[in-house]
A = this chain, B = another copy of it.
Amino acid sequence: MVILTLNCGSSSAKYQVYDWDAKDVLAVGVVERIGLEYSTIEHQALGKDEYKTQFSSPTHKEAIELIISILQDKQYGVIDDISKIGAVGHRVLHGGEKFKKSTLVTDEILKSLKELVTLGPLHMPANIMGIEAARKVMPNVPHAIVMDTAWHQTMPPASYMYAVPYEWYEKYNVRRYGFHGTSFLYTAKRASVLLGKAPRDTNVIICHIGNGASICAVKNGICVDTSMGLTPLEGLVMGSRSGDLDPAILPYIMNLTGVTSQEIDTLLNKKSGLIGLCGRSDRRDVQAAAQAGDAKAQLGVDLECHRLKKYIGAYMAEIGKVDAIVFTAGVGEMGGHIRWCSCSGLENLGVKLDKKKNEIAHCRNAEFEISTDDSPVKVFVIPTDEELVMTEDAYALMAGTYDVHTNFHY
């Protein structure tokens, strides 16, 4: 049996096929340009040639039909029959307060998701379209949804409430939700294993730093705080997002420049962060420019690390006794200089990085301990695996073995 996972964006659909019995990824791929004059697919099956083509996909339905047909293709496929698909796992951005864990899709669940569109106006419509299209194409297979926010639903009110008019929470659901939940769940569990501790005894701070970046405080195995908020804009300095700032900057700039609230939202999400500071967002480019003497790129590196360090300290204070700091996602796994800058100077708080081990940790498929042997707080690099969480959740929901995530391990 295989498990298919789907991650539908507004014009794209990423997928992975996982062989449940062999515990192996059989194929990955992506359809892009959905809804445009032509669409593209890139498909890669284990041990086979890559397959690329253009086709017509006015909606997510045609995209998913093509994916299913390529999966059964003689030359490029990985299953001989659609009935081999045991379950489908769908990534969903926002579960609001309603979804505290993954769940099987029903008509009622879809209705609930639609009520959450305001909370994720850019992603939720595409997520929902993907689910609806996939259910049409595979009506007899259980579909599961895995939310980026669910992991964070264990936060206490002091972490998730904002000090704004209380009715904003009651009427408009304004609160901290947090994102990157599947990544935090996976890496928290892996950190428990590396520490040789039960999840419920594990206190870690996890830095998920990719294009988007957020950080999570995990106490006794569950999330107690995270840096992204109502939306993925808050918190760390990111590729193109500002992260934290004085909220009064928005009316100040709107007043001086005449931009609308939608425009400033876009500026803060797409033209800020490292892009806003130095015109680049890929950390390799930023770092190279900084090393070549570009002062704005250096400012970008400094700001990113400064913010990260502040959050690490904040979460150490919140958690009280931290076992380990974990770095994950593209920058966390590959960006040794950012790990170094953000952890240096924390020796008094028990964090001692090993310079050499940190330099060596530079790949996306192996786990590393990069702290010194005598560091009271361990530092790990753990490649994230969000697809695996989606796969396991979809399987467990289908098989009836799904449990609260605190009982899982990886």
Contact = CB atoms under 8 A, between A and B. Distances in A.
Interface of A: 118, 156-159, 161-166, 168, 172, 174, 176, 228-231, 233-234, 237-238, 241-257, 261-262, 264-265, 267-269, 271-274, 276-278, 296, 299-300, 302-307, 309-318, 320-321, 345-350
B302 A163 contact: no
B248 A163 contact: no
Given A163-B243, A163-B303, A234-B246, 12 more contacts: A156-B302, A163-B241, A164-B276, A166-B278, A168-B253, A172-B257, A176-B246, A228-B246, A254-B261, A310-B317, A314-B314, A314-B317
Which of A278, A310, A315, A316 gathers the greatest number of chain B CB atoms within 10 Å? A310
Contacts of A251: 250, 261-262, 264-265
Contacts of A316: 313, 316-317, 348-349
Contact of A311 (B234, B253, B314): B314
20 contacts: A158-B302, A162-B245, A162-B246, A164-B267, A165-B267, A166-B296, A168-B253, A230-B248, A231-B246, A231-B252, A233-B247, A233-B248, A234-B248, A248-B265, A250-B261, A251-B264, A317-B349, A320-B346, A320-B347, A348-B350
A314 to B, nearest CB: 4
A352 to B, nearest CB: 13
A341 to B, nearest CB: 10
A22 B276 CA distance: 55
Which of A166, A248, A315 gathers the greatest number of chain B CB atoms within 10 Å? A248
Nearest to A314: B310
A394 to B, nearest CB: 30
Contacts of A246: 162, 176, 228-231, 233-234
Given A172-B256, A349-B349, A161 B299 contact: yes
Given A242-B162, A313-B313, A248 B277 contact: no
Contacts of A321: 348
A168 B257 CA distance: 10
Contact of A261 (B164, B255, B304): B255
Contacts of A274: 163
A277 to B, nearest CB: 6
Contact of A242 (B163, B255, B312): B163
Contact of A245 (B247, B254, B299): B247
B314 A249 contact: no
A215 to B, nearest CB: 12
A152 to B, nearest CB: 13
A241 B165 CA distance: 10
Contacts of A346: 317, 320
List the 6 closest pairs (A to B, CB-CB), nearest first: A313-B317, A229-B246, A234-B246, A310-B314, A158-B306, A251-B261
Nearest to A250: B250
A264 B172 CA distance: 15
Contacts of A243: 163
A161 B277 contact: yes
A320 to B, nearest CB: 4
Nearest to A241: B163
Contacts of A165: 267, 271-272, 276
Nearest to A232: B248
Contacts of A234: 245-248
A216 to B, nearest CB: 14
Given A174-B249, A237-B163, A251-B265, A312 B303 contact: no
